[in-house]
Structure 1
Amino acid sequence: MAFEFLKRRLVARDIQALEELFNQFHETVYKSAYFITHDRMLAEDVVQNTFLKAYDKIDQLKDSSRVESWLIQIAVNQARDEIRRRHRQAWSQEEAHLPGPPEELPEFQVVAREEHAVISAAIDGLAAEYQDVILLKYQFEMTTKRIAETLNIPEGTVKTRLRKARAILESVLRESGFAEQKVEGG
């Protein structure tokens, strides 16, 4: 398999192999980091740290078919560590860069912005195990089986966590005046 060859090169400390790994999985790792941090610069830092950690720990990857899942898990852990280290609440890049004050925006943009802020804050407020399944289900559109494999937990646990996370998010939306919103099942 092609990855086995790449893994051998990484174990042998071939820097070009690290670049190949980065080129192949950068986007996925970035999306994982951004989902947790909601900050472009911090997500980029997490990406770099993720690949450096993967480079150092590549010999621990036993199943080469799980390299993407392994990198996602490293990225999620690195992102959480960074957030804890910085002691700050994450805000989405979209909120920070919307043009002008709300009164200059059309009404639907104001509502969308408020809704996005509520959803973002609700996801940030979820326990880590719920954030993980939400990230993998909705950001990466993984099946429950693939999520179970990625997180190394039973598929039933994934379904339970998704159900609980959706209920929490739906409750937060209802309390925030977005009662018509419902988190879709899957």
Structure 2
Amino acid sequence: MNGQPMASNRSLTDEYDILVDAGSQSSDARLVEETKKGNKQAFGELVQRYERRLMRVIGRFVFDLDLIDDLAQETFIRAYERLDQFDPSRRFSPWLFRIGVNLALDLHRRRKRRVWTIMFTDRSADRWIENPEADPRNVRDLQLEVQAVIREIPEKYRTVLILRDMENFSTSEIAAILDRKEATVRWRLAEARNRFQELWEKRQKQDDD
């Protein structure tokens, strides 16, 4: 071994992220326990910690600022009321986002419509659109085309696509949010990307004809 330490498969950045994530999980668990004991300020800290991202995630499904705010508030209310159902051995954030995502999806089902106004980030769009900078159409036009394509993807695939490629949730987090196995999430994500690619190429071919 020449007295040298074994090489790690994880980078220093990976190690740092793991430590930060573990610290956040431990802190969340403490705040949840304090809330269960009647400390409302502890739950207020959880709200402050996750409110902005929760609203952003809901905003991927609902294109109405007032509704986004209402659904976010309803999410925290339900989380507070159901804390006794929360398994402290699991992470709090996926459990919270599951409530929010389900509320957003239920809204569409109740209204019996499928309005999905989704704006991809440049990084996400780059994954499927080759050399977007070279495209003569402006970015806004490309985003509108992406919206039109993604609306054609079935909900169960589209939801995974949004959470993974637009909100950067990990496979394990998405599995917890959707209450599905990680293998199912990976399969749906692959299927969603394939369907997007096929639909995108079909659309481009129609434009060229």
TM-score by length of 1: 0.73
> C-alpha distance in 2, partners of 1:109/1:10?
54
Return the match for 1:74 from 63, 77, 99: 99
TM-fit CA distance, 1:34: 0.8
Does structure 1 conserve the Cα–Cα contact (< 8 Å) formed by 2:60 and 2:117? no
**CA–CA separation in structure 2 for the residues paired with 1:92 and 1:135:** 9
Contact 2:32 2:43 in 1 (8 A): no
8 Å contact kept, 1:40–1:93: no
Deviations 1:133-180 (A, max 9, x none): 21221123233344334434333222211111011111221222279x
1:155 aligned partner:
182
In the aligned structure 1, how far is the partner of 2:179 from the partner of 2:196? 24
What secondary structure does 1:36 align onto? Answer: coil
Residue 170 (structure 1) aligned to one of 197, 200, 204: 197
Q: 2:149 aligns with which of 116, 119, 122?
A: 122
Q: Which amino acid aligns with 2:117?
A: W
The residue type paired with residue 29 of structure 2 is: E
- State the Cα distance separating 1:33 from its structure 2 match: 0.3
Q: Is the 8 A contact 1:3 1:64 kept in 2?
A: no
Work out whether residues 55 and 68 of structure 2, in 8 Å CA contact, stay in contact via their aligned partners in 1: yes
Contact 1:30 1:47 in 2 (8 A): yes
Identify if the C-alpha distance between structure 1 residues 19 and 178 changes in structure 2 by more than 3 Å, giving closer, same or farther.
farther
Q: Is the 8 A contact 1:38 1:93 kept in 2?
A: no
Among 134, 143, 150, the residue aligned to 2:170:
143
In the alignment of these two chains, the number of paired residues is 166
How many Å separate the matches in 2 of 1:81 and 1:152? Answer: 16
Structure 1 residues 146 and 91, CA gap change in structure 2 (3 angstroms)? closer
Asked which structure has the greater CA Rg, the reply is 2
Alpha-carbon distance in structure 2 between the residues aligned to 1:162 and 1:22: 29
For residue 54 of structure 1, what is the aligned residue in structure 2? 79
Give unmatched runs, 5+ long, in structure 2: 1-25, 121-134
Instruction: From the superposition, tell whether residues 113 and 150 of structure 1 become closer, same or farther in structure 2 (CA, over 3 Å).
Output: same
Instruction: Verify: 1:28 aligned to 2:84, yes or no.
Output: no
> What's the CA shift for 1:13?
4.7
Question: Structure 1, unaligned stretches of length 5 or more?
Answer: 95-107, 180-186
Q: Provide the C-alpha distance between the structure 1 equivalents of 2:82 and 2:40, rounded to a whole number of angstroms.
A: 14
Q: Report the aligned-residue RMSD.
A: 2.8
Amino acid at match of 1:116: Q
